[in-house]
């Protein structure tokens, strides 16, 4: 079954080379019961670890069932250990947070034979612990723990059992019971390889190999071995279903379950790990909600201005380094507005505007606000259809009628919110009839768009303010694709009307759509900036996860060694730790999403800021937290997966 020739193993202890094995050659047949004896440091444990594929020799040949295992990859070695070998350790090496049944079933997690938990239950019954399957290691005696370890070694129906000082930590009664179990297993046909320094224990074997200084001192049949009758096979074979898909699901479920158990065993540490991700996700969601809210508010305000709008106004000039007001050198008039309406293609509406601050009075109440003189087209251009009453007519415009439409703020300040339609107000001591209440436009920064009064342009210019020129002309174009052509035609027309000649055109056209695009782009950049700043918190949280996982790897080094001894491949160990990192990220992300949404709502209620929580922002935050969990969990997972099985088992 096993054949080794001239295997050597040397350890470097500082500047001293220790030859643990020095040219060992031996053969072990199927069904033998072999004891390897020797004093401490003789190399017996090293030999067993090499024979059990937990360690590799420096030189020599090693075959099992005719297979040259020195050529096996790490994955092939793991599969061979899981399928062919069972291990019983001196320290038991049971997982503390799992039941006896789960400890025995651990090799099944890494097996590909389709066996279920029933196999683990049968093994516990075989070693006399059928009534203790739900007990944890700290609820079992030393002898019972070693029986659990033996049941674990048998669960995959191996061909050979390796027992390393199986009675070293047991009292004499428990030691006799364990040796009786091993003898019975041998009687059932199993090959048993026992490592011990106790001659009484070795006398249970049929063959004794004695080592000294890494060399075989003697290899002889034991004449004092007890006669044990053959009682059949050690384990009844099971016809496990080879449904790899179902096995993968079961394996994933077990790994997730074990990961959750491991994390819950260190609740404070796990909570602190999740705290960084939680803060990061909450910050991302809150900042994106604020940025989206601000952007939506700006877009809403701009949409109220109308669509496809151009604004014609005189350029500001400077003289002697002093900036002069708009229109200080060139003036716009009503004739310009009529010419634009009649001569420029693709124009739907035109309105000239005069805009000044005036004093309002109604009864014994006074209020100062903005008064605008506008054209009849202003109603359609700016969506100023009154919510109560009406807009002024063309006849009222031509007749310079003293009629006014007032915003909600003057309604509240002058009339206490009562209906003002049909009542009179004084604007700079001139009496006006209120014929309409303007629709609500809301506030934008420090500007209250509801704090205004609209009156006919002719009334404003010739009766109220005594102006001959208008401040600007607003034009609505029929389609967005005609904006550039119309803008060029308007500037050419105005240059012709004002005879600018070779001088630079003293007028400018502002495209409100371009302004809106600029503001929208600025909002997007602001949202990206804020999100990037918040993402830093996620990175910090990821670093916290990595640190905690590195600590976890150090604390669970022996567990990792045990899992590898039982057949865990590198990818199995990596998956175990990556799942733990993802669980931390997931629950941190869930808590962070709730906190971020709650914080956004609270900020909106307390400060009045506009917030907008979108599903995309939550998905993005979760996605980032998952990526962070994987990225920062890879290094600890790779470190755990790269551990040598025997080095991990020896770790203190």
User: pLDDT tens digit string along 345-404?
Assistant: 989 999 999 999 999 999 899 999 999 999 999 988 888 889 999 999 999 999 999 999
* Residue 28: its H or E element: strand 16-28
Structure tokens that stand for 24 in this block: 């060992």
The string over 138-168, giving b where at least 16 C-beta atoms fall within 10 Å of a residue's C-beta and e elsewhere, is eebeebbbbbbbbbbbbbbbbbbbbbbbbbb
User: Exposed/middle/buried for 486, CB within 10 Å: 0-12, 13-18, 19+?
Assistant: buried
Handedness of CA 262, 266, 268, 273 (dihedral sign): negative
The reported pLDDT for the residue numbered 645 is 84
Q: Does residue 200 fall inside a structural domain?
A: yes
Which SS3 state, helix, strand or coil, does residue 199 take? helix
> Is pLDDT of 241 > 60?
no
pLDDT in tens, 3-42: 999 999 888 777 788 888 888 999 999 889 999 998 888 8
Q: Does residue 235 fall inside a structural domain?
A: yes
Range of the domain at 78: 2-242
The reported pLDDT for the residue numbered 170 is 81
Based on the domain organization, do 161 and 54 belong to the same domain? yes
Among the three residues 505, 537, 567, which one is the final residue of a domain in this structure?
Answer: 505
Which SS3 state, helix, strand or coil, does residue 116 take? coil
Q: Contact, 235 vs 157, CB < 8 A?
A: yes
Q: What is the CA radius of gyration of the chain?
A: 44
As a whole number of angstroms, the distance between CA 328 and CA 586 comes to 64
The reported pLDDT for the residue numbered 11 is 85
* Residue 17: its H or E element: strand 16-28
As a whole number of angstroms, the distance between CA 44 and CA 35 comes to 10
Handedness of CA 183, 206, 189, 145 (dihedral sign): positive
Q: Binning pLDDT at 50, 70 and 90, where does residue 242 land?
A: very low
Q: Does residue 252 fall inside a structural domain?
A: no
Q: Binning pLDDT at 50, 70 and 90, where does residue 240 land?
A: very low
> Is pLDDT of 533 > 80?
no
Based on the domain organization, do 232 and 267 belong to the same domain? no
Report the interhelical angle of 172-187 vs 142-154 (nearest 10°): 20
Q: Does residue 428 fall inside a structural domain?
A: yes
As a whole number of angstroms, the distance between CA 449 and CA 297 comes to 13
Based on the domain organization, do 421 and 568 belong to the same domain? no
Q: Contact, 306 vs 382, CB < 8 A?
A: yes
Range picked from 118-122, 468-472, 502-506, 631-635 for highest mean pLDDT? 468-472
As a whole number of angstroms, the distance between CA 283 and CA 276 comes to 11
Based on the domain organization, do 593 and 470 belong to the same domain? no
Q: Report strand pairing: 33-37 vs 207-212.
A: parallel
CATH number for position 220: 3.40.50.300
Measured CA to CA in angstroms, residue 321 lies from 11, 317, 327 at distances of: 86, 10, 17
User: In the predicted model, what is the mean pLDDT of residues 230-251?
Assistant: 51
Structure tokens that stand for 321 in this block: 């380094």
DSSP state of 610: -
Chain-centre distance for alpha carbon 76: 34
The tokens 């809301």 sit on which residue? 442
The reported pLDDT for the residue numbered 438 is 92
pLDDT in tens, 275-330: 877 887 888 788 778 777 777 776 666 555 556 788 898 876 444 444 444 444 56
The reported pLDDT for the residue numbered 473 is 92
Based on the domain organization, do 51 and 92 belong to the same domain? yes
Based on the domain organization, do 365 and 418 belong to the same domain? yes
Based on the domain organization, do 272 and 215 belong to the same domain? no
Among the three residues 505, 528, 545, which one is the final residue of a domain in this structure?
Answer: 505
pLDDT in tens, 144-202: 888 898 888 888 888 899 988 888 778 888 888 888 888 888 888 889 999 988 888 88
Query: How many separate helices (H) and strands (E) can be counted in the chain?
Result: 21, 24
Q: Does residue 385 fall inside a structural domain?
A: yes
Strand partners, 7: 24
Based on the domain organization, do 552 and 480 belong to the same domain? no
Handedness of CA 136, 579, 636, 266 (dihedral sign): negative
> Is pLDDT of 517 > 70?
no
Average pLDDT value for the chain: 82
Based on the domain organization, do 236 and 118 belong to the same domain? yes
The reported pLDDT for the residue numbered 345 is 92
How many domains does one find in the chain? 3
Which has the closest alpha carbon to 28: 51, 8, 7, 50? 51
Q: Does residue 325 fall inside a structural domain?
A: no
Among the three residues 444, 479, 505, which one is the final residue of a domain in this structure?
Answer: 505
Based on the domain organization, do 436 and 571 belong to the same domain? no
Based on the domain organization, do 491 and 371 belong to the same domain? yes
Q: Contact, 565 vs 87, CB < 8 A?
A: yes
Q: In the chain, what percentage of residues exceed pLDDT 70?
A: 87
Based on the domain organization, do 612 and 501 belong to the same domain? no
Q: Does residue 313 fall inside a structural domain?
A: no
Q: Can you give the pTM of this predicted structure?
A: 0.62
Q: Does residue 319 fall inside a structural domain?
A: no
List % helix, strand, coil for the chain (3-state, nearest 5). Answer: 50, 20, 30
């Amino acid at each position: 079954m096993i054949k080794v020739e001239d295997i050597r193993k040397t350890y470097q202890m500082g500047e001293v080379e220790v030859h643990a094995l020095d040219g060992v050659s031996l053969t072990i047949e199927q069904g033998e019961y072999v004891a390897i004896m020797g004093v401490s440091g003789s190399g017996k444990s090293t030999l067993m670890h090499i024979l059990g594929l937990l360690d590799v020799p420096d030189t020599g040949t090693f075959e099992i069932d005719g297979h040259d295992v020195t050529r096996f990859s790490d994955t092939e070695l793991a599969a061979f250990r899981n399928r062919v070998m069972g291990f019983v350790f001196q320290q038991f090496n049971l997982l503390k947070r799992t039941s006896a049944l789960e400890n025995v079933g651990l090799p099944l997690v890494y097996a590909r034979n389709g066996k279920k938990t029933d196999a683990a239950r049968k093994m516990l019954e075989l070693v006399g612990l059928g009534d203790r399957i739900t007990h944890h290691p700290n609820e079992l005696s030393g002898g019972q723990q070693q029986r659990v370890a033996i049941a674990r070694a048998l669960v995959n129906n191996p061909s050979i059992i390796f027992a390393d000082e199986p009675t070293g930590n047991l009292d004499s009664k428990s030691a006799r019971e364990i040796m009786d179990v091993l003898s019975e297993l041998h009687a059932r046909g199993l090959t048993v390889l026992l490592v011990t320094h106790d001659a009484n224990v070795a006398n249970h074997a049929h063959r004794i190999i004695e080592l000294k200084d890494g060399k075989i001192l003697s290899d002889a049949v034991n004449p004092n071995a007890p006669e044990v009758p053959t009682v059949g096979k050690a384990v009844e074979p099971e016809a496990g279903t080879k449904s790899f898909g179902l096995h993968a699901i079961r394996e994933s479920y077990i790994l997730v379950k074990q990961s959750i158990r491991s994390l819950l065993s260190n609740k404070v540490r796990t909570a602190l790990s999740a705290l960084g991700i939680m803060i990061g996700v909450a910050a991302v969601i809150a900042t994106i909600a604020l940025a989206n809210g601000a952007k939506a508010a700006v877009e809403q305000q701009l949409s109220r201005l109308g669509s496809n709008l151009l604004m014609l106004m005189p350029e500001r000039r400077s003289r002697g380094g002093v900036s002069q007001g708009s229109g200080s050198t060139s003036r716009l008039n009503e004739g310009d507005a009529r010419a634009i309406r009649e001569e420029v293609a693709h124009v739907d509406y035109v309105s000239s505007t005069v805009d000044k601050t005036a004093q309002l009075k109604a009864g014994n109440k006074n209020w100062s606000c903005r008064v605008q003189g506008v054209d009849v087209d202003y109603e359609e251009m700016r969506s100023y259809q009154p919510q109560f009453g009406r807009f002024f007519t063309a006849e009222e415009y031509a007749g310079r009628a003293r009629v006014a439409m007032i915003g909600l703020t003057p309604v509240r300040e002058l009339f206490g919110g009562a209906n003002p339609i049909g009542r009179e107000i004084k604007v700079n001591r001139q009496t006006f009839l209120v014929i309409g209440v303007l629709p609500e436009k809301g506030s934008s920064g420090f500007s209250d768009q509801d704090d205004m009064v609209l009156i006919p342009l002719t009334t404003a210019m010739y009766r109220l303010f005594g102006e001959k020129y208008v401040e600007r002309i607003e034009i609505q174009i029929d389609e967005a694709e005609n904006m550039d052509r119309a803008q060029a035609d308007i500037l050419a027309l105005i240059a012709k009307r004002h005879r600018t000649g070779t001088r630079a055109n003293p007028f400018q056209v502002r495209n409100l759509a371009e302004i809106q695009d600029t503001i929208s782009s600025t909002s997007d950049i602001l949202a990206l900036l804020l999100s990037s700043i918040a993402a830093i918190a996620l990175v910090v949280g990821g670093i916290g996860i990595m640190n905690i996982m590195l600590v976890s790897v150090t604390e669970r080094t022996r567990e990792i060694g045990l899992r590898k001894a039982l057949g865990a491949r590198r990818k199995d160990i990596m998956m175990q730790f990556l799942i733990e990192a993802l669980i931390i990220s997931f629950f941190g992300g869930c808590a962070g999403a709730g906190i971020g949404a709650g914080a956004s709502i609270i900020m909106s209620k307390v400060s009045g800021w506009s917030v907008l929580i979108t599903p995309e922002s939550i998905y993005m935050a979760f996605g980032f937290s998952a990526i962070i969990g994987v990225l920062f969990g890879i290094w600890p997972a790779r470190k755990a997966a790269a551990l040598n099985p025997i080095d991990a088992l020896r770790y203190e």
